[in-house]
Structure 1
Amino acid sequence: MRKTVVYELVSLDGVAEDPDSFFDEWDDVVDAHLASVIATQDAVVLGRRSYTQWARFWPTSDIEPFATFINGVTKYVATSTPLDADWAEATAVDGELVGFVRNLKEQPGGDIGVHASISVAQALLTAGVVDELRLVVAPRVAAGGRRLLDGLPPLRLEAVSSELSPTGYLLLDYRVTGRNS
């Protein structure tokens, strides 16, 4: 069975919205972490807002390793309206998101990534269909914005790895083991 992996850039206070406002440096360790995450993924689930923003930016970007990955990978977009931007390998999710991802997990293939889409990550974490949570925590307090873990039920996580990058970013990888009793 495929794994669903949520990869998010967050501030120290858990804000995931607008990471460009608190991610002002990027180093080789963070790059290597991202490369290891995307190396196993052959599908990505995005929310409508992330899709619209990314479809304007990534097709002409040369920021590697992500540009090549995101432009070539199959992208499923959680939306109830037709996609207005033309981006290779993008398809609107037909039907309910959680059921779609559960079905996708049963199909052959690599990991299913969830990148940048806070509401999608929250819905899938709440439904119990996320297997791994991989975070890059910036050494900044955003002090405002949507937080990744707000509104979730209590979850049990098992630490898989942690690493501190030279510029102070904390790379945290967790396995989601279930809900707290």
Structure 2
Amino acid sequence: MRKLAIITFLTLDGVMQAPGTPEEDPSGGFAHGGWAVNYWDEVMEQVMGEAMAAPYDLLLGRKTYESFAAYWPNAGDDPISNKLNKATKFVATSTLSKLEWENSMRITGDIAAEVSRLKHQDGPLLQV
């Protein structure tokens, strides 16, 4: 049985967003994209390096998949992009019928049951 881990970038007042760019996700009028970049330091670099070093598959929702799939396949040849591109990506979606990013698989229907099924399979960590 494998474990599920969640990597979250969260402010004390509840803003949760990846450490991307200011235009990362302006939906709903959100104007503070990329907030985490200013706080990235050597401790964060070490923590993320350790998290990314272990073998893992990805469990993604549609929006995160779309954001990642638009960026990582074209990010160049570096350890993080190579690892993300080679990882198996399980995508919870009821709207995307075709997933272009290599090693991507749709999961639909009862998502909780599907995640439980994935956890009971042999394999690396499921990283959200």
Which of the residues 60, 63, 66 maps onto 2:74?
60
Aligned equivalent of 2:91: 77
Aligned equivalent of 2:10: 10
Aligned equivalent of 1:110: 124
SS at 1:8 equivalent: coil
CA contact (8 A) 1:41 1:113 kept: no
C-alpha deviation, 1:41, in angstroms? 3.8
Matches within 5 A, 1:158-169: none
Aligned equivalent of 1:24: 37
Higher helix share: 2
Deviation per CA, 1:12-56, whole angstroms, max 9, x where unpaired? Answer: 322113643211233333222112123334211100011111111
CA contact (8 A) 2:9 2:18 kept: no
Deviation per CA, 1:111-145, whole angstroms, max 9, x where unpaired? Answer: 1000xxxxxxxxxxxxxxxxxxxxxxxxxxxxxxx
CA contact (8 A) 1:93 1:100 kept: yes
Counterpart of 2:46, as a letter, is: A
Distance 1:65 1:10 in 2: 25
Which of the residues 96, 99, 106 maps onto 2:110?
96
RMSD between aligned residues? 2.1
Which of the residues 41, 62, 66 maps onto 1:48?
62
C-alpha deviation, 1:65, in angstroms? 4.3
Deviating runs (4+, > 4 A) in structure 1?
Answer: none
Residues 81 and 51 (structure 1), Cα distance of their counterparts in 2 relative to 1, 3 Å cut: same
CA contact (8 A) 2:90 2:106 kept: yes
CA contact (8 A) 1:45 1:112 kept: yes
Give the TM-score normalised by structure 2: 0.76
Deviation per CA, 1:48-84, whole angstroms, max 9, x where unpaired? Answer: 0111111111111148543122111000000013344
Aligned equivalent of 1:159: none
Higher strand share: 1
CA contact (8 A) 1:73 1:89 kept: yes
Distance 2:64 2:56 in 1: 18
Q: What is the aligned-residue identity percentage?
A: 32
Counterpart of 1:17, as a letter, is: Q
Give the TM-score normalised by structure 1: 0.56
